[in-house]
Amino acid sequence: MPTFSVFMDVPLAHKLEGSLLKTYKQDDCPNKMFLAYRGRCLAVLKMVLQIEPSNMQLGLPAVKVRLHLPITLIFGAFQLGVQFLRAWHKDARIVYIISSQKELHGLVFQDMGFTVCEYSIWDPKKLCVDPDILLNVVEQIPHGCVLVIGNIIDCKLTPTGWAKLMSMIKSKQIFPFFDIPCQGLYTGDLEEDTRILQYFVSQGFEFFCSQSLSKNFGIYDEGVGILVVVAVNNQQLLGVLSQLKGLAEALWLNPPNTGARIITSILCNPALLAEWKQSLKEVVENIMLTKEKVKEKLRLLGTPGSWGHITEQSGTHGYLGLNSQQVEYLVRKKHIYIPKNSQINFSCINANNINYITEAINEAVLLSEGSEICLPKGKKP
């Protein structure tokens, strides 16, 4: 007699990129490399971890925002914002998500019952960010929707473009929801990386901004996030804060706080804070140098295609511009694990592995040179 199960209609979920790490761990090749997500730990953290835990203060201090709520869970700050919008912005049930890469934002909104439309401003054919895509999408967005912009610094709009974007957002009463995954690791300057958000504030916009502190503090296993809320007055902020606290307690009654304690010890210590800021600058400088070296080595190897896009991208992560066949070759034959979209963490490349990586890329491109989706040859590297 068959046994009834409430789970009988539950299908297998589609594999996420997280399965790449699982495959990497199962690979017994001694020379395997993982070039996605994680990178080097900032030097300042090595000093922080030597501090007696009892000397660390819980919570995060206010840092030039009107309101923030520390959430010690990876992606938790974004989820909390979505929970709030579902409960208190009931007229907005359509969400438009624009980013330079595929994110989990859409899945979070879909689970909450929103209708999601996703767009990427990265053009894989031109191998560059196309800011016109952002403007064109916002022109088509209906009145009263939620607009999620991931990695806003990647948008690269002109001042005229930003003015046009803000005008459309205001006239259509669109609610902006920004996401900043690694402040300070784009330009090396904390203020510069959020300058456009400050401009939104100065123009009287209300918005949410979720921010992960895991990457810029190098604590990937101790994720900490912040939800920034900007409103027109303090009375409304207090109301929002009270509702967010209730939602946070329902989601995570007693979340882990090790990451928040590490970050607090840095932000509250002037010497460590200065060293952390300097570390960010050094990381960005090293990343740009690494990108230059990768581009130059590919040029010297005679690798077909254009590689100038590598150094044109900001931040620790960047697209190599490889197609699926080339990525599969790197993973299966060379044991170099990168996502299907070929966006890698350049901080994983160093003097010990750069030759192997660039030579492997050269092999992958040469083997697929005759395919229709080979790298374009229009620009000089």
pLDDT 10s digits, 160-206: 999 999 999 999 999 999 998 889 988 999 999 998 999 999 999 99
pLDDT score for 376: 43
Q: Print the SS3 string covering 102-118.
A: CCCHHHHHHHCCCEEEE
* pLDDT > 70 in the chain, percent: 84
Contact 201, 230 (CB under 8 A): yes
Alpha helices in the chain (DSSP H): 18-26, 43-48, 76-88, 105-111, 131-140, 159-171, 190-193, 195-202, 234-251, 258-267, 270-301, 309-312, 324-332, 354-367
The boundaries of the domain holding residue 129 are 65-268
Q: Is the pLDDT of residue 71 over 70?
A: no
Q: Is the pLDDT of residue 370 over 70?
A: no
Contact 204, 41 (CB under 8 A): no
**Residue whose C-alpha is closest to residue 230's, from 249, 246, 210, 216:** 210
Q: Is the pLDDT of residue 288 over 90?
A: yes
How many structural domains does the chain have? Answer: 2
Q: Is the pLDDT of residue 254 over 80?
A: no
CA separation for the pair 125, 24 (Å, rounded): 29
Q: Which residue has the higher pLDDT, 2 or 225?
A: 225
pLDDT score for 19: 79
Task: Indicate the pLDDT class of residue 46, thresholds 50, 70 and 90.
Answer: low
Which are the contacts of 354, defined by CB distance < 8 A and separation ≥ 6? 290, 293, 294, 297
Same domain, 71 and 192: yes
Neighbours of 54 (CB within 10 A): 6
Q: Is the pLDDT of residue 373 over 60?
A: no
Same domain, 303 and 226: no
Same domain, 154 and 293: no
Q: Which residue has the higher pLDDT, 248 or 299?
A: 299
Q: Are strands 175-180 and 146-150 parallel, antiparallel or unpaired?
A: parallel
CATH code, domain with 223: 3.40.640.10
Q: Is the pLDDT of residue 126 over 50?
A: yes
CA separation for the pair 23, 262 (Å, rounded): 31
Q: What angle do CA 130, 40, 189 make, to 5 degrees?
A: 55
Whether 44 maps to a domain, the answer reads no
Which are the contacts of 160, defined by CB distance < 8 A and separation ≥ 6? none
Q: Is the pLDDT of residue 220 over 70?
A: yes
**Residue whose C-alpha is closest to residue 207's, from 154, 152, 249:** 152
Same domain, 225 and 343: no
Domain boundary, last residue among 238, 268, 298: 268
Domain boundary, last residue among 229, 250, 268: 268
Same domain, 156 and 219: yes
- Terminal C-alpha separation, the chain: 67
Neighbours of 140 (CB within 10 A): 9
Same domain, 225 and 280: no
Same domain, 153 and 237: yes
In the block, which residue shows the tokens 């690694």?
Answer: 182
**Residue whose C-alpha is closest to residue 63's, from 255, 192, 228:** 228
Whether 380 maps to a domain, the answer reads no
Phi-psi domain of 42 (left: phi exceeds 0; alpha: psi -120 through 50; beta: other): beta
Same domain, 187 and 251: yes
CA separation for the pair 217, 334 (Å, rounded): 31
CA separation for the pair 187, 276 (Å, rounded): 14
Most confident of 67-81, 91-105, 293-307: 293-307
Whether 49 maps to a domain, the answer reads no
Which are the contacts of 126, defined by CB distance < 8 A and separation ≥ 6? 376
Same domain, 200 and 117: yes
pTM tops 0.75? yes
Task: Indicate the pLDDT class of residue 218, thresholds 50, 70 and 90.
Answer: confident
Task: Indicate the pLDDT class of residue 42, thresholds 50, 70 and 90.
Answer: low
Whether 48 maps to a domain, the answer reads no
CA separation for the pair 38, 25 (Å, rounded): 14
